[in-house]
Amino acid sequence: MKNWKLNITLFVVAYIVFMLAMVPASMVVGSVTLPPTVKLGDVSGSIWNGNISAVQLKSDVINDVNWQLSPLGLLTGSLSASVKFGNSRKVAMISGEGDVATNFSFDHFSASDFTLNYPAPELVDRLGLPIPADIGGRVVLKLKDYDQGKPYCESLNGTIMWNKATVKFGKEFSIGRIDAELGCAKGEVELKITKKNPLGLQITSLIGAKNKFSAKGFIKPNGDMPTEVHNMMKMLGQPDSQGRFPVNF
């Protein structure tokens, strides 16, 4: 009798999972009320394995968004999925991939083994960073793990790299690559640049609520950097006894 009941239960569960797997993603997405700043392109596939041709988040456009939902996440009361979007070979395109999760209220977000590629000029504009020059290249964010908190994080462990970095003071100059470590400090995103780089930039910065940005450190460009770069440093004030220009805002 017990085996009979168990078989019936397994059959019912399997049938429900099968039916859910057949539900079109467009039907589910169409029933969700989205914020006015979010717009979706064509939706295809199922809720377990689907695709959205494009997602617009305010002024950002993310192309070719794919996801694969994890059934095991449902047992723990969360929606977890592996996602992939954009084309990482195109520097001017937002792209990325990794594992993300949220709860059924959609008010808590986490990520792990997640990579995001973002054009550097657009990122400066989005964050409103006070950088007194035009920049180029691409910013690569790699998260080992992230757990949402107030205002931004409960925990954060990752790195951020500015690849093929350029600055433009009249003409454009290449400054190679700049690496930074990411962490969480009382809910704010903390960024530290300590590794040697052509700009001699050593800095600790915080991004707080409402994108409030602060930074403290110094910059001392290598001797082989162009004269224009060294002249630009005078905007930061007087150098200290070691020739380092302060960064404090």
Q: Which of 107, 141, 171 is the last residue of a domain?
A: 107
**Domain shared by 118 and 194, yes or no:** yes
**Domain shared by 87 and 170, yes or no:** no
For 172-193, give one letter per residue: b (16+ CB within 10 A) or e.
ebebeebbbebebeeebbbbeb
**Domain shared by 131 and 197, yes or no:** yes
User: What single DSSP character describes residue 105?
Assistant: T
Residue 5 lies in a domain: no
**Domain shared by 142 and 224, yes or no:** yes
**Domain shared by 87 and 182, yes or no:** no
- Nearest by Cα to 95 from 123, 112, 117, 121: 117
What are the pLDDT digits (tens) for 37-78? 888 899 898 878 889 999 998 888 999 999 998 877 666 667
Q: pLDDT value at position 74?
A: 65
**Domain shared by 67 and 92, yes or no:** yes
Residue 62 lies in a domain: yes
**For residues 218 and 247, is the Cβ–Cβ distance under 8 A?**
yes
- Nearest by Cα to 135 from 118, 120, 154, 113: 120
Report residue 238 as tokens.
Answer: 């007087």
Separation between Cα atoms, residue 67 and residue 45, nearest integer Å? 10
Task: Note down the domain range covering 179.
Answer: 111-249
Separation between Cα atoms, residue 14 and residue 222, nearest integer Å? 64
Q: pLDDT value at position 4?
A: 53
User: What pLDDT band is residue 140 in, cutting at 50, 70 and 90?
Assistant: very high
Q: pLDDT value at position 15?
A: 46
User: What pLDDT band is residue 124 in, cutting at 50, 70 and 90?
Assistant: confident
Separation between Cα atoms, residue 215 and residue 191, nearest integer Å? 9
**Domain shared by 216 and 147, yes or no:** yes
Q: How many domains does the chain have?
A: 2
Q: pLDDT value at position 130?
A: 65
Separation between Cα atoms, residue 101 and residue 109, nearest integer Å? 6
Question: Residue 203 pLDDT > 90, yes or no?
Answer: yes
3-state DSSP helix/strand/coil % of the chain, to nearest 5: 20, 50, 30
Which residue type occupies 124? V
What are the pLDDT digits (tens) for 165-190? 888 767 788 888 899 999 999 999 99
More confident site: 108 or 1: 108
- Nearest by Cα to 156 from 169, 170, 143, 146: 146
**Rounded mean pLDDT of 192-221?**
89
- Nearest by Cα to 202 from 169, 238, 178, 186: 178
Question: Residue 126 pLDDT > 80, yes or no?
Answer: no
Q: Which of 50, 79, 107 is the last residue of a domain?
A: 107
Q: pLDDT value at position 95?
A: 96
What are the pLDDT digits (tens) for 215-229? 899 998 888 887 777
**Domain shared by 115 and 78, yes or no:** no
Q: pLDDT value at position 5?
A: 46
CB atoms under 10 Å from CB of 11, counted, come to 10
What is the chain's mean pLDDT, rounded?
Answer: 83
Is-cis flag, bond preceding 71, omega within 30?
no
Question: Residue 129 pLDDT > 80, yes or no?
Answer: no
**Domain shared by 117 and 210, yes or no:** yes
CB atoms under 10 Å from CB of 140, counted, come to 20
**Domain shared by 129 and 103, yes or no:** no
**Domain shared by 232 and 197, yes or no:** yes
